[in-house]
Homo-oligomer: A and B are copies of this chain.
Amino acid sequence: MAKDTAGPLRLLRETHEERVLAVLRTEGAMTRAQLTEQTGLSRATLSSIVQDLLAADALTETAADDGTSRGRGRPVTVLTLNPAGGLALGMDLGHRAVQVTVANVAHEIVGTTGIACSERTTWARRLELAISLAESLAAQHSISLSALSGVGVGVVGPVGHASRSSRAQLVRDGLNERFGVPVYVDNNTRLAGLGEAIWGAGAGLRNVLYLRLSYGVGSGLVLDGHLFSGAGGAAGELGHVSVDPEWPRCPCGGTGCLERYVSLSAVLEQCGVRSFDEVLELLTAGDERVHEVIATAGGRIGQVLATACNTVNPETVVIGGELAEAGAPLLDPIRATVRKYTHSQVRQGLEIVPATLGHDDAARGGIALVLRRSALLAGYPAATGPGSRDRVHDIG
């Protein structure tokens, strides 16, 4: 757990309200005066933060046990964390599985659970599955879902800022009806990137390019500490970068798209096997043909990554998805190609590492959306510059 949450705790606790929450978490109930002393914040700052946290149901205020009052002033009260406040639910409605994760008021992951589904499963059905998984998680960890501050959901396909896509709408309406809290929907690959940038291989970094290599190829960008969607919610469509101008059109409308060459299905076909486990076995066995296929894929992926890196100059590229399990035979050619085709300033200090989160990467990204957008974390001063850590407070 400690390791898992190092990312978000380091990031989120840098903000004032997190300092207040942290003190209450560790020290328990206390008066405003004690809190001022403990947090080292000015009385004015503290009182405005406490006011917002109370409004957000993150804190509860009760009269001090001794019931004393300060003469003309209002009676002394003590503040405590609201045990029913700040619960965040993350969901990933993926192609082949539905995953649900829940985090508590301390922003610690309480539990996660998932279930496989067929590609033909309707979105309405996936939604039902997600809701029942959430209910079983709640029961298992004796959490009341009435205490949710929001739900963050990853879905397949591009999702714009003001997404009016029927899929996003179906999910938003269904979950809002069930839980009566704000629902934030985004592309699940992008949310997996956000998850990796907070809890995973990019924990604590402000500029992370996450690339998922699975049946589809997509990416998620965390730039200056924000999850970046682009004008139409299609930022990070690296699976549809052309690696062969002569190749016929791709269903996406592009030509010679990377995905046609390095998707899991394409790689399986090129290796002449039916499952990726066979690919991994053949790699371990030193099969030259399979090593060649994986190296070629790595080269193509590296070419696209090089241009993407010259564009956004990330600190780290995180490679996820089944294909990443190939390890060095894939990552080494990717690294060599990116090194070869990037500007020296872009290459400098750039790391290319495998993802570290499991099936719940996108669900965790959904939780980050909730933590970032819920009243609990919104509305505090903006970053004062590109280098500011505060901006991370605004992540998502």
Contacts and interface: CB of A to CB of B under 8 A. Distances in A.
A311 interface: yes
Contact residues on A (Cβ < 8 Å of other chain), bracket = 35 or more
A383 interface: yes
Given A233-B313, A313-B233, A315-B231, A341 B382 contact: no
B381 A253 contact: no
A391 B378 CA distance: 13
Interface in A209-261: 221, 223-224, 226-238, 240-242, 245, 252-256
Contact of A307 (B241, B345, B373): B241
Copies of this protein in the complex = 2
A106 interface: no
A385 B161 contact: yes
A204 to B, nearest CB: 13
Interface in A189-212: 206-207
Interface string A302-338: 0110111011111100000000000000000000000
B380 A232 contact: no
Contact of A382 (B229, B340, B382): B382
Given A231-B314, A384-B378, A245 B341 contact: yes
Interface in A248-277: 252-256
Most buried by B among A253, A308, A348, A380: A253
B314 A230 contact: yes
Interface of A: 158, 161-162, 206-207, 221, 223-224, 226-238, 240-242, 245, 252-256, 303-304, 306-308, 310-315, 340-350, 373, 378-387, 390-391, 393-394
